[in-house]
Amino acid sequence: MDFFLPATISFIITVLIIPPTIKLAKKFNLVDNPKLRPHPAHIQNRIVPRIGGLPIFTALFLTILIFTPFEKETVGILIGLIILIIIGIMDDKFQNLSPYIRLVSQFFAALAIVISGVGINFITNPLGGILHLDIIEFLPSILAVFWIVWVMNMINWSKGVDGQMPGIVTVSAITLGLLSLKLTTQQDLSQENIAKLSFITAGSAFGLLIFNWHPAKIFPGFSGSTILGFMLAVLAILSGAKLATLGLVLLIPATDFAYTFFRRILQGKSPVWGDRGHLHHKLLEKGFTHQQISLFYILGSVILGAVALNLSSQDKLFAASLIAGILLGTILWLNFFGGLSKQSDPDNG
C-alpha cells in the first residue's frame, strides 16, 4: 500500500494553506501581540499569527476523507477535529478564553472518538502477558478519554519555543506509523490504515514545522497543538494500545508535563494556568536558542522513538524509568538555580 502519497498530500495542503492563513490572521487580528496581551511566557516581542490549527485541520480533514475508509472511527476522529478547531479559533480570536472551557472542549473531542467505539481494552504488562481492561464495564472508555485529554495537554504545553511542538509530533507520528507497518506484516492487516493516518499526521505537522521554525511565521495556537495531540493519542490506541511506545517517544515533554502539573498544585496554583517553569523556559534562561532547544526535543524524540521500536515492553519500562529520572533531575536543577515566575496565564500551559 502507498503511504507516501497521502503523507505528501497532507504536507502540500498544509504548506499551501499557511500563507493565506497568515494573511487571514492579520486581517482579522488572529495574532499574538505581546503589547496587547501580557503573557508570562512571552519570549519574543514580534506580532505573530496564531491560527496555525486551521491549515492543520484542513489538511487532516481532507486527506483523511480522501485516503482512509469512511468507518465509524473515522467519523469520531473528524467530529473531534471539528470540536477542537471551533474552540481553537475562538481562543485565537478572543485570547482570553477560559482554560476550563478549553479543557471541557478537549473532553468532548475525546468523547466523540470514544463513542465511535475506540477504547483502551488492554495494555501490555511490562512484566509479561496482557492486562485485559475490558473485563470492567466502561473502564476502557474512561481510560481512553483521560489518555486523549492528557496527551492533548502535554502537546499543548510543549509549544513554548519555535519549532518545538510540530517537530515532536512529526517524529512521534512517524514512529507510530512505522510501528503499525511492523504490526501489519506480523499480526493485523487493518494496521495499514493506522499507518496511513500516522503518516498523514506527520506530513501535516512537518508542513507546520517549516513555517514555525525560528523565527516563526505562524504559531500553532491552541487548536494546532491540541489537534495534533488528539491525533497522536488516538493513533496510539488504534495501533493496538501502544501507549507505552508513544509515552516513551514523548518522554521529554511527558516528564516536564508531570513535574509542572504537580509543582503548580504544590504551590497552591491551578495546574492549567501557565508560568515560566517549563524545561524549555529554563533552557532559554541558560542561553540556549530556539533552534537548539527544538533540536534537543526533536533529536531526543528520534532517539527515544528508535528505542521504542526495538525494545520489549519490560525493556521500555526500564529505559523510560532511567531516562525520566535523569530528565526530572535536570528539570529540578534548572528550576532550583533559575527560579520561577510568579506570573500566570491561561494559554501557556
Question: What pLDDT does residue 347 have?
Answer: 45
- Rounded distance, CA 278 to CA 335, Å? 8
Q: Which residue has the cell 481532507?
A: 62
Task: Read off the pLDDT of each residue in 43-62 and give the average, rounded to a whole number.
Answer: 90
For residue 149, the enclosing domain spans 4-246
Task: Say whether pLDDT at 305 is over 60.
Answer: yes
Stretch 334-348: mean pLDDT, rounded?
51
- Please state, as a whole number, how many other Cβ atoms lie within 10 Å of the Cβ of residue 221: 27
Would you say residue 121 lies in a domain? Answer: yes
Query: What's the pTM value of the predicted model, to 2 decimals?
Result: 0.90
Q: Is residue 217 part of a domain?
A: yes
38: DSSP letter = -
Residue at 336 is within a domain: no
Could you read off the pLDDT of 105-149 as tens digits, one per residue? 999 999 999 999 999 988 876 666 788 888 888 999 999 999 999
Residue 30 pLDDT > 70: yes
Query: What pLDDT is stored for residue 345 in this prediction?
Result: 42
Task: Identify the band that residue 344 occupies on the pLDDT scale cut at 50, 70 and 90.
Answer: very low
pLDDT at 95: 72
- d(C-alpha 337, C-alpha 187), whole Å: 50
Confirm whether 13 is domain-assigned: yes
pLDDT tops 60 at residue 338: no
Is residue 263 included in any domain, yes or no?
Answer: no
| 3-state percent breakdown (helix, strand, coil) of the chain, nearest 5 | 70, 5, 30
Mean residue pLDDT across the chain: 86
Lowest-confidence pick of 37-41, 189-193, 310-314, 345-349: 345-349
CA 193 to chain centre: 20
- Looking up cell 533559575, which residue turns up? 338
Instruction: Determine the Cα–Cα distance for residues 84 and 183; give it in Å rounded to an integer.
Output: 30
Say yes or no to pLDDT of 314 above 70. Answer: no
Place of cell 511527558: 254
Please indicate, yes or no, if residue 278 is contained in any of the structural domains: no
Number of independent structural domains in the chain: 1
Place of cell 472518538: 113
Would 205 be classed as within a structural domain?
yes
Read off the pLDDT band of 281 (50, 70, 90): confident
Q: Does 112 reside within a domain?
A: yes
Bond preceding residue 49 cis, omega within 30 of 0: no
